[in-house]
Structure 1
């Protein structure tokens, strides 16, 4: 016997359609309820292809543009291009001025691979009054991807120089961004260049010009172009933030922070200003920013308390930093605060209290996995700083028991083992890292340097460091390794260049030891003494610095 089943419930959509059409039905005739019901039932069953057939039939029998629109969208979702085209044609008959109809028809033309029809529809949208036409055009092009991408790029090429394009650089940059997202960087650059020529006084055009000058190495020209923007206080907030970022990229973090301070502030701008002021070493600026942020609210929200804690740390106000981190409610902000608080408490001599907070974070399964992992790394570092090397190793072992083969934990354990003179274990962890990821530049450098410095296998170490440098050519640590190995292989002239670059990029005691030794060997003892003294001031307990003072008695 056939099984009986309950009559399918009309969907909310069909009910809404039915309720919205009574007045229209008197003018346009009765709705094709049979086709609508059959189409809706098919939708409820997940049968888009059948639903598309019934809705197309309903749209062709009705004078309602909303039904034609729904038929078009269902056919598109069902992957039925011919039915979608017929439904869209009916929609055009009933609502020839509809931006939505033109936008969806544009997308269908792109998906059919018909750039001529798509361009005609794009031009219709551009000719529409107001901003809706261009916004709809952008939306249709943004949805194009995959097999539709070539046709969309063709449309973007044809629209270059169109007289109906908006008189606004932002619109041209939006089209440039679309071209880049669709994989044609050259076309994207042409749109940018067209916009800069068309709107030379637009601040965003100047920003683009400054960026291009910076990338070409013309830093002076880039600074002059940014200066042409005028008073930062007169710039729109988005332009001001981009301009400040350009100044930072040009190597002027202090001016970047000063510019950004002229606009409206939020947590993101405060954080960026703080980072730039730290980079510039401007303690007075940090103090002023700290006071500014504190004055914003009597009871700062969690994110602001975190920021205040960071600023207090940057100023060395450890007691105040601990107060900001204490008492945060459960959640992401508290998890971050537990990490920061542990380091602050260690500075205050409250080592055990800080470690206890890390243990709380390590077992909190609601916390982000990376934060929990970082809690093990930081605990190890705190134990090592306190001189408890076995506890430092145990922390990392415990972390790896939870986060098996985690690269950060393995790398941290390798370095900890090397500092504890467990060289073979350090090399074993680094080999595990390279087995999983042969292009891990940090592990390549660490492995090569450990082979060289701790085992004297200088020639064997060189290929690892060369590979690391090819992957990360600006890494101060790898530049130092390369210089040190070359020096020990008798290539002092080459070594000096690498070590100078490392020292200029990062003032570090170990780099100072190596650079000074090369200078000493080249007969430049006064320079060597100055570099060594700087390194000893940075870290008097550094093993390499202690060695050169023991061996050379400078």
Structure 2
């Protein structure tokens, strides 16, 4: 019989068995199962089965059992189906083994077969099959604590916590164990469920006060409901009763953090790690808490964890990220490369290896890694950075091909990738190419508001004011209360003196819709200035600058103050604006337009 470990096997290696030992093992299982069937139905006469073997297997008839109790044999097809399952398992064809055992468990209603099916399904992480066979096993053997334990575990994973708790109680009543901490961990993800199940956990903790699993599960529920002192008292009681049950001090550290006693938690973990240096859970919690307190020491702990668990991708990634963020690039790089070898966290590894290549000025390698990042947290950032690198190095054809590939690969996100490519072209001052691309995109996505808006802005940049206004009007027809569009069009119309009243109307409506938007307040200040209402303009512009210290707002406010004659204050505003944005061209342009010869540096030195 091929070995099937209980729920969490370290590996799936199976020792080969000879045909003779395989058949003997299978017969042992099946005879035991038959005896169990007979015990459950003593008055049922055993059916007559043909005494023959298939020529292919040349199996001898099952010898008579020297027992006064008659044993009812399985039907011959059931026998051989299970034998085939054992052969399949021995050959590591686990899916065949599971299918045969699962089918026969439901067909024969035999507890032994159901138990075997459950163990195989749990070994293979086949959750649906494990749940059905575990429930069948628990039903067929209601007095078996292991059956109740398996049913509890599978029902918990399936999210049926109420039924799982029923089986957990049976397991405890039979003197067995029950994974109540797992059940509690699932329950606490939902506050309503926590409150609903809390009384049951409390009753169990009162009934089994020395059962560490039960009491810790109740403590977890108390923690979820923020009853920290009560939970801590229970956890410390469990530690006194079961000093080697490390779940208790681990939960205590979480509670101490909850109670803002972070240093106390760190000291406790430091002590525990020194006592149990091989306990990865303790060291991992210790390392996580140290990240905010002592990054160097945290790095040491993660390094030790990786040493103890050299194939654990989560630990390797954690250590690699710490080393990357602390600029220990030479130590981080081989860790990311190890992740690629292990085929774990490959997208993250490619993303950070690309970043390392960027720092090393190795653009081709950086781009190659960015292109291997798969959809997920870093996907858009990888595309953005990779295409920017290609643009800077003048590889526009490669960029174009990349975006074509992306649109083909993600047809539902085609519009988004058109916009990304257009933005990249705009950033590199390729406005005409960007507009051509957006025009092409609108042929496929004519109703896209984002594309129409981008098209309008590009037309504005290229000096085509009529096309800009046409695009904005089209958007306002669809959404007349869009404050962003109202403000954009109103601000543009300020440049045309004959349309100031229209601009004021648009901006006023936008401000009514979003009274706290600094950009719209700036527009209102600027139109008031152009209308000659200088005091009103200063009021709005000062408010806008307080909300958003933007250099364009500073340019506007400084100009109004200068025109009012408050030139000292104007220079201060411009100077601060340049300090916030040293690359600004708007403030120097405003000063040039006003024919101001005094430099900001000279003004700063004079004051």
User: TM range, normalised to the smaller chain?
Assistant: 0.5 to 0.7
Q: Is the 8 A contact 1:479 1:498 kept in 2?
A: yes
Supply the distance in 2 between the matched residues of 1:196 and 1:438 (Cα, whole angstroms).
Answer: 58
Q: Is the 8 A contact 2:558 2:571 kept in 1?
A: no
Q: 1:357 aligns with which of 398, 401, 407?
A: 398
- Post-superposition offset of 1:364: 1.9
1:547 equivalenced with 2:590 (yes/no) = yes
Q: 2:432 aligns with which of 379, 384, 390?
A: 390
Partner of 1:21: 30
| 1:155-202 superposed Cα distances (whole Å, 9 cap, x missing partner) | 2344258355857999679758xxxxxxxxxx9443677546766984
Supply the distance in 1 between the matched residues of 2:334 and 2:116 (Cα, whole angstroms).
Answer: 58
Supply the distance in 1 between the matched residues of 2:552 and 2:485 (Cα, whole angstroms).
Answer: 17
Supply the distance in 1 between the matched residues of 2:418 and 2:105 (Cα, whole angstroms).
Answer: 60
Partner of 2:489: 451
**What TM-score, normalized by structure 2, do the two folds share?**
0.52
- Post-superposition offset of 1:357: 1.4
Supply the distance in 2 between the matched residues of 1:299 and 1:141 (Cα, whole angstroms).
Answer: 37
Supply the distance in 1 between the matched residues of 2:560 and 2:357 (Cα, whole angstroms).
Answer: 40
Supply the distance in 2 between the matched residues of 1:367 and 1:545 (Cα, whole angstroms).
Answer: 46
Partner of 1:309: 354
Matches within 5 A, 1:22-421: 22-29=31-38, 30=72, 59=109, 66=114, 90-93=140-143, 98-102=148-152, 121-123=167-169, 132-134=178-180, 137-138=183-184, 154-160=196-202, 162-163=205-206, 175=221, 188-190=224-226, 195=231, 202-209=252-259, 230=266, 236-237=283-284, 240-241=287-288, 244=291, 261=299, 264=302, 266-267=316-317, 288-294=327-333, 296=335, 301=340, 303=347, 304=349, 306-311=351-356, 313=358, 320-328=361-369, 331-332=372-373, 339-347=384-392, 350-351=393-394, 353=395, 355-364=396-405, 367-368=409-410, 376-401=418-443, 405=447, 409-421=451-463
Q: Is the 8 A contact 2:287 2:299 kept in 1?
A: no
Q: Is the 8 A contact 2:507 2:523 kept in 1?
A: no
Supply the distance in 2 between the matched residues of 1:463 and 1:122 (Cα, whole angstroms).
Answer: 63
Supply the distance in 2 between the matched residues of 1:18 and 1:432 (Cα, whole angstroms).
Answer: 80
SS of match in other structure, 1:539:
coil
SS of match in other structure, 1:364:
helix
**What TM-score, normalized by structure 1, do the two folds share?**
0.56
The CA RMSD over aligned residues, in Å, is 5.9
Supply the distance in 2 between the matched residues of 1:398 and 1:329 (Cα, whole angstroms).
Answer: 27
- Post-superposition offset of 1:538: 2.7
Supply the distance in 2 between the matched residues of 1:141 and 1:272 (Cα, whole angstroms).
Answer: 33
- Post-superposition offset of 1:67: 7.9
Q: Is the 8 A contact 2:524 2:540 kept in 1?
A: no
Instruction: Decide whether aligned partners of structure 1 residues 432 and 486 sit closer, same or farther in structure 2, where only a CA change above 3 A counts.
Output: same
Q: Is the 8 A contact 2:475 2:485 kept in 1?
A: no
Supply the distance in 2 between the matched residues of 1:539 and 1:388 (Cα, whole angstroms).
Answer: 20
Supply the distance in 1 between the matched residues of 2:297 and 2:560 (Cα, whole angstroms).
Answer: 42
- Post-superposition offset of 1:322: 1.0
Q: Is the 8 A contact 2:350 2:370 kept in 1?
A: no
Instruction: Decide whether aligned partners of structure 1 residues 413 and 310 sit closer, same or farther in structure 2, where only a CA change above 3 A counts.
Output: farther
Instruction: Decide whether aligned partners of structure 1 residues 56 and 27 sit closer, same or farther in structure 2, where only a CA change above 3 A counts.
Output: closer
How many residues matched? 438
SS of match in other structure, 1:538:
coil
SS of match in other structure, 1:534:
helix
Instruction: Decide whether aligned partners of structure 1 residues 158 and 335 sit closer, same or farther in structure 2, where only a CA change above 3 A counts.
Output: closer
- Post-superposition offset of 1:447: 1.5
Q: Is the 8 A contact 2:554 2:574 kept in 1?
A: no
SS of match in other structure, 1:190:
coil
In terms of mean alpha carbon deviation, does 293-302 or 392-401 score higher? 293-302
Instruction: Decide whether aligned partners of structure 1 residues 92 and 129 sit closer, same or farther in structure 2, where only a CA change above 3 A counts.
Output: closer
Q: Is the 8 A contact 2:171 2:177 kept in 1?
A: no
- Post-superposition offset of 1:356: 1.0
Partner of 1:525: 570
- Post-superposition offset of 1:420: 3.5
- Post-superposition offset of 1:367: 3.7
| 1:38-96 superposed Cα distances (whole Å, 9 cap, x missing partner) | xxxxxxxxxxxxxxxx999964xx665838999xx9xxx9xxxxxx9999655414668
| 1:232-277 superposed Cα distances (whole Å, 9 cap, x missing partner) | 9988445644775xx6xxxxxxx89778655536446656886xx6
Supply the distance in 1 between the matched residues of 2:445 and 2:219 (Cα, whole angstroms).
Answer: 44
Q: Where does the alignment leave 5 or more consecutive residues of structure 2 unmatched?
A: 1-24, 39-71, 80-103, 122-127, 129-133, 237-248, 274-281, 303-314, 341-345, 495-502, 529-535, 601-607
Q: Is the 8 A contact 1:339 1:358 kept in 2?
A: no
Instruction: Decide whether aligned partners of structure 1 residues 263 and 400 sit closer, same or farther in structure 2, where only a CA change above 3 A counts.
Output: farther
Supply the distance in 2 between the matched residues of 1:407 and 1:501 (Cα, whole angstroms).
Answer: 28
Instruction: Decide whether aligned partners of structure 1 residues 298 and 95 sit closer, same or farther in structure 2, where only a CA change above 3 A counts.
Output: closer
Partner of 1:6: none
Instruction: Decide whether aligned partners of structure 1 residues 242 and 32 sit closer, same or farther in structure 2, where only a CA change above 3 A counts.
Output: same
| 1:292-321 superposed Cα distances (whole Å, 9 cap, x missing partner) | 4346578995754542433565x6x6xx14
- Post-superposition offset of 1:134: 1.9
Supply the distance in 2 between the matched residues of 1:538 and 1:324 (Cα, whole angstroms).
Answer: 31
- Post-superposition offset of 1:500: 2.6
Q: Is the 8 A contact 1:342 1:358 kept in 2?
A: yes
Q: Is the 8 A contact 1:110 1:118 kept in 2?
A: yes
Matches within 5 A, 1:494-533: 496-503=542-549, 508-514=550-556, 516=558, 524-533=569-578
| 1:412-461 superposed Cα distances (whole Å, 9 cap, x missing partner) | 4344344334456556656777888999xxxx453143133212434533
| 1:441-492 superposed Cα distances (whole Å, 9 cap, x missing partner) | xxx453143133212434533554665688xxxxxxx434345536756375
Instruction: Decide whether aligned partners of structure 1 residues 106 and 447 sit closer, same or farther in structure 2, where only a CA change above 3 A counts.
Output: closer
